[in-house]
Structure 1
Amino acid sequence: MTNRPTPPTAVVNARVFDGEQTLEATTVIFDATGILTVGGEAPSGARRLDAAGATLLPGLIDAHVHTNAESLALALRFGVTTELEMQGTNTADNRAHITDDDTVADVRSSGFGITPPGGHPSELFPEGFRPGPPPGAPGPSGPAPLMPFSTTPEQAVAFIPQLVERGSDYIKFMVDDGSVEGHPGLPMLDRATLNAGVAEAKRHGKLTVAHALTIEATEMAIEAGIDGLAHLFMDGPHTDEIITLIRDSGAFVVPCVVLNASMMGITGDDLADDPRVAARLDESWMKTLRSSFNHYPRGRITDVLESVRALHHPTITISDTLNTRAVWRRGAQLTAA
């Protein structure tokens, strides 16, 4: 008996956004191999999905998560088709159960980031904590993840091929003294160790990312040749110098503004109050959305947002930003009047 090919699916009457612009086309036709056509008429025999009043867009990518299978399923319900895990266990050697499951979002992972013993994020875990089963023990989650604690260039270099072998899709470096998290004085990678680790990762053809929450840590990471920043600094307003340094390096930036806001005590109450969001979240997620870390209340979210703006428009100078602030103040006064 010959298996008949599955007929294509036609999404019709949609507002079609391709990631950059809204198209005139209102029909998208696809099958198991991918998108066949954008625009035109639905072919005879196609399964039709009427998307009148809805927008069809590419799957979203969440570029900074710490996740599990349950959260990956929830992400997919919100239109996120890929998550980038910035510390966790979903490395290539440990995610076949995810890759083969079409009910959850796809995931890529750094594994665990290179950090000194006792360095971030060790302060977040109980003493002696080690995720996963004991080292070498079999289990449903696979072997225990590699914990690449490094205090010297030689140690960082030695861990890189191990992380690659275990399936890290990119290599993460923690450049953090704990000052923003409320744990000042944490052990932090020194410049020599960071530089050596980044260089070795690049020799293995791996993308490198850095956890850096301060301007000083950001400078260290960029000067080490990091490919991307998994956070945006939050310890003060940007300077023309730091924006120029990031721009000229070619590094990408994942601002992760929601984390910065949470560190400053800002909650997601507005989202939690939106019935479109609340209808898709259970009680534990709603509680999380209405809470915050509040470890850095002296931070200013306006500084973070202005840094994002300056990175998006790198020709804008500090004087431009100050002028914009004045315009905002005048606008607020006019509105109030």
Structure 2
Amino acid sequence: MVRTSIHNVRIFDGTAISEHDSVLVEDGVIARVGGVTGGADEVVDGAGRTLLPGLVDAHTHVFGSVENLGLALAFGVTTEVDLFSFPPDATAALLAESRERDDVAEMVTAGMLACPPGSRPALMLPGLLPTVDGPEHAAAFVAARVAEGSGCIKVHLDDGANHGMSVPLFDVPTLRALGHAAREAGLSTVAHVSDARTMELALEAGLDMATHLPLDETMSAEAVSAAAARGQAVIPTLAIAEFAVEPNRGRSLVDDPRIADFLPPAAHEALRDGTEGLAVEEPPPGSSMEKVLASMRRLHEAGVTVLVGTDANNAPFRACPVVHGAAIHRELELFVASGFTPTEALAAATSLPAKHFGLHDRGRIGMGLRADLVLVNGDPTRDILATRDIAGVWRRGVRCTRNSRATSNT
């Protein structure tokens, strides 16, 4: 039995903060919170520090790269929700590897996304993606994803306008059928939306979550009220929105040594200069971060659950500036800039995504839960930038080695 104790530490347990507390970890599980005395193999001094649950990034694309999962862990992200992974055999292998290893973040994946015939994903991967041609095919699609190990269902709602195309969208009956089949299988649904119209379509159809916010207009009060009334959640992906409309602001991460010093060369270069994977070829006219953040304020004021997800999709072969692990710290900063308190932003990156994706063994600090933990210098409930100053990361009680410019742990 391996025992680790962290003493005299401030604890954010996923919802609230407590001062001068302690945690005991035994064989990868939190065995005790408070009143820990002696007997540990590793004793960590938490004075001046804050212990957080491992961060959960609710929207990423791993692209089959275990290096991405190692990079995520080095920045305190112990779980990544991958919202499109292909092909199924490679996805299954990476899922198994991420579950067995403690030196990389665990991946939860939607696997292959649901899209209608003639949609942009179907045209990009002809004959390789299964399409859903009407409500009668929804149950079979979901059953196939369950058999492949998917932990949620991703639904694609994009008419192609942001890519200079005009392609079909799902109708409401098909969306509702997909949502029903997913609920019957115990899975949540996440809709990729491309603008205000598709956001409203996802909400009208009753899908559990929508990801992305309109770039060129603020969400209507009616749509926000509907989401609040139905208990739907939104994953805004502010980090990638910022790169789409104001890229120079997002690149400021590379100037922070707490981030830059722990990026391997390819990720450092992607953050500094990369332009791939930004979701839109060109932002629509009138797009601005002010409109995106105004939508965030409306969602927050209405009490809609908003989850931290970055849309990180860099890889050693893909120079996207939204970098695994590092991007979540910019996302948290943008949450606070839009009116969330630091404590609310931290909950949106820990307990709330764990709850909405059915990950009941993580996202909080409590007895019997997985010892996915992040220790930071300072108090991020007062200054959200303190999440960048990482003193230690544990996955299932195993401490991650963070090496300057060599963080993949693979």
Please report the TM-score for the alignment, with normalisation by the length of structure 2.
0.65
CA contact (8 A) 2:213 2:292 kept: yes
> Which deviations, in whole Å up to 9, do the C-alpha atoms of 1:58-80 show, x marking residues without a partner?
11000000013111111111111
Which residue pairs with 1:88 in the alignment? 85
Q: What are the residue-to-residue correspondences of 1:1-337 with 2, within 5 Å?
A: 5-6=1-2, 8-32=3-27, 34-44=29-39, 46-67=41-62, 68-89=65-86, 95-121=95-121, 125=124, 147-180=129-162, 182-267=163-248, 268-290=250-272, 291-292=274-275, 293=278, 295-296=282-283, 298=285, 299-314=287-302
Question: Structure 2: which amino acid aligns with 1:204?
Answer: A
> For residues 45 and 221 of structure 1, what CA distance do their matches in structure 2 show?
50
> For residues 264 and 301 of structure 1, what CA distance do their matches in structure 2 show?
7
User: How far is 1:101 from its partner?
Assistant: 0.5
Q: RMSD across aligned C-alpha pairs, in angstroms?
A: 2.6
Higher Rg: 1
> For residues 267 and 8 of structure 2, what CA distance do their matches in structure 1 show?
34
User: How far is 1:250 from its partner?
Assistant: 0.9
Query: RCO greater where, 1 or 2, for CA within 8 Å and sep 6 or more?
Result: 2
SS of residue matched to 1:81: strand
SS of residue matched to 2:17: coil
> For residues 184 and 69 of structure 1, what CA distance do their matches in structure 2 show?
33
User: How far is 1:13 from its partner?
Assistant: 3.6
> Which deviations, in whole Å up to 9, do the C-alpha atoms of 1:104-142 show, x marking residues without a partner?
11111111111124424456x5x6595xxxxxxxxxxxx
User: How far is 1:303 from its partner?
Assistant: 1.0
Number of residue pairs aligned between Structure 1 and Structure 2: 293
Which residue pairs with 1:321 in the alignment? none
Higher strand share: 2
Q: Which runs of 5+ in 1 are unaligned?
A: 131-146, 317-324, 326-337
**Which range is displaced more, 102-111 or 40-49?**
40-49
Q: Which runs of 5+ in 2 are unaligned?
A: 305-337, 339-410
> For residues 205 and 128 of structure 1, what CA distance do their matches in structure 2 show?
30
> Which deviations, in whole Å up to 9, do the C-alpha atoms of 1:301-331 show, x marking residues without a partner?
1111111111111179xxxxxxxx9xxxxxx
CA contact (8 A) 1:209 1:228 kept: yes
CA contact (8 A) 2:9 2:51 kept: yes
> For residues 45 and 173 of structure 1, what CA distance do their matches in structure 2 show?
47
> For residues 199 and 258 of structure 1, what CA distance do their matches in structure 2 show?
31
Please report the TM-score for the alignment, with normalisation by the length of structure 1.
0.78
